[in-house]
Amino acid sequence: MALMPYEEALKIVLENINPLPSERVLLWQALGRFLAEEVRSDADKPPFDNSAMDGYAVRAEDLQGEGVKLRLLGEVSAGGEVGLRVERGTAVRIFTGAPIPEGADTVVPLEFTRQEGEYILVEKPLKKGANIRLRGEELKEGELILKRGTPIRGYEIGIMASVNKVSLSVYQKPRVAVLSTGDEVKDVGENIEKPSQIRSSNNHALYARALEVGCEVVHLGIVGDNPEDIQRLLKDVERYDVFLTTGGVSVGEKDYVQRLVGEMGFELLFHKLRIKPAKPVLFARKGKTLLFGLPGNPVSCLMAFDLLVKPALFRMQGVEECEPPVYRAQLVRDFSRRDAERREFVRAKFWEEGGRLYCDYSPKTQSHMLTSYVGANCYLVVYEGIKELKAGQEVELIPFQWQALEPYNCPFPFHVTLPKLIAFLGVKPIEKVLHVITLHKKAPPLKKATYNKTCKGYCVKSVVVFARYPRVEQKK
Ligand code: AMP
Ligand code: MG
């Protein structure tokens, strides 16, 4: 039977995905998540006409001709009151960010002026409107800033703070389970008892990769190649959005994953692709849960994750453009292979030099050689039917990172003083703070909150929250 091409497999994967429901989080908890709502400006930005420079607010009209001399009326600083009016022949000292006083239409930078007693001399002509940031020139009130599905980086955190977005809707994190199988695999730290045993890397690599793309991940450990153990763990598969197994999907007698998928009521969507490595990869579905049976070879496992699972995890978090992009670069070394039947994805590195992208590949091309990832940042794509690639030739590659971020799912503790929190959330009685912090009702209590009890018996001074909301456990 002809093997299924990669594109078709990816299409099947993505067709089987609906974005997860959303949940509300506080701004500080939103790092590395994906927006499930639109963010609009709460006001015109800037909110008022203000100075872009330290200098003098003047009337452009007064700057005509030689030897311009203006009488200084006073000053206005950032955050200060205006109360002054620039009349003909006068100026007001102004600082960056300060509101433009009435009557003024231009700011002369300090370095273009000289002060003489209560007068300033302007030494350079300026256009009307120079050095003034106009109200609404960046954003109008209600203007769309961030679309649904936008990954939230530090930049977006700043942008949302600037429009007073205290809490927001993000897509729930996909719940991912990782299970490794194999009689020979021993976990990190376990004793190797027989020379035929090997160290398990797949479960840890997948756990970390899933975290890197914004998921909540559960280690289910390692089970031997025995159907009872695998079956026991697969029974709970519907507790997760995505269930990842490694090993046991080839055609060996001890490859039970495929058999169990058939026996346990999964819908098998594909098994075996025309790709190298990771040919035996399997994709199945039970209810809402997607199961990826990834091959045991460490490179196959990670490559199948990057090219099939990662797009799925992004799509679940509302990302529209979640298919791997293709970059073009110039290969710097010949590549050849004997068998050109499958599309091969070779660990490689690309870089920019003199306005061009170049690509070199790891000499460790085989699927058990995990260290082929050292220094790699892309997969060199060797298409079906191609046996040789020549140095100097243009090649295609898929970068490891293609979303604006691979959100790094670190716990992101935030520290906020109580008065600030109250001001943000508009609550007065201090007793309500705990309620406010556990903002979304579905969430279990926060992991840790510390309170400083000071004056008057019960005055919470600061609240430290380790921002991590585990998803609500589904009933077994
Ligand atoms: P399998 O897919 O079970 O046929 O395994 C293919 C190869 O991957 C074998 O050489 C296994 O020893 C190896 N392998 C299986 N599981 C793991 C694992 N968790 N970590 C590292 N290598 C593994
Ligand atoms: Mg095996």
| Residues 370-382: tens digit of each pLDDT | 999 999 999 999 9
Instruction: Classify 446 as helix, strand or coil.
Output: coil
pTM of the model: 0.82
Pocket test for ligand 1, best of 207, 294, 297 (most atoms within 8 A of CB): 297
Ligand 2 geometric centre to CA of 253 (Å): 9
Angle between helices 256-263 and 227-234 (to 10 degrees): 50
- The mean pLDDT of the chain is 86
Higher local confidence (pLDDT), 336 or 83: 336
Domains 6-20+173-316 and 50-133 share a fold: no
Exposure on the CB side of residue 89, measured as CA atoms within 13 A: 2
Q: What atom of ligand 1 comes closest to residue 252's alpha carbon? A: 4
pLDDT tens by residue, 18-29: 999 999 988 888
| CB-proximal residues (5 Å) to ion ligand 2 | 182, 247, 296
CATH of domain 6-20+173-316: 3.40.980.10
The domain limits of the chain are 6-20+173-316, 22-45+138-171, 50-133, 327-399, 414-465
User: 50-133, which class in CATH?
Assistant: mainly beta
DSSP assignment letter at 338: S
Q: How far apart are CA 178 and CA 35, in angstroms?
A: 26
Q: What pLDDT does residue 1 have?
A: 72
CATH number given to 22-45+138-171: 3.90.105.10
Ligand 2 centroid to residue 250 C-alpha, Å: 8
We find that the CATH architecture of domain 327-399 is: Beta Barrel (2.40)
In the DSSP assignment, the letter for residue 271 is E
| pLDDT higher than threshold 60 for residue 448 | no
Query: 298 CB under 6 A from ligand 1?
Result: yes
CA separation, residue 53 to residues 17, 71, 72 (Å): 51, 19, 17
Q: Kindly state the average pLDDT of the residues 211-230.
A: 91
The number of the ligand nearest the C-alpha atom of 250 reads: 1
184 CA closest ligand 1 atom index: 12
Q: Which ligand gives the minimal distance to the CA of 201?
A: 1
pLDDT digits (tens, 9 = 90+) for 88-122: 999 999 999 999 999 999 999 999 999 999 999 99
CB of 197 within 6 A of ligand 1: the answer is: no
Average pLDDT, stretch 128-149?
A: 97
Among 202, 260, 282, 294, name the best residue to mutate to test ligand 1's pocket (greatest count of ligand atoms within 8 A of Cβ). Answer: 202
**103, two tokens:** 């009557």
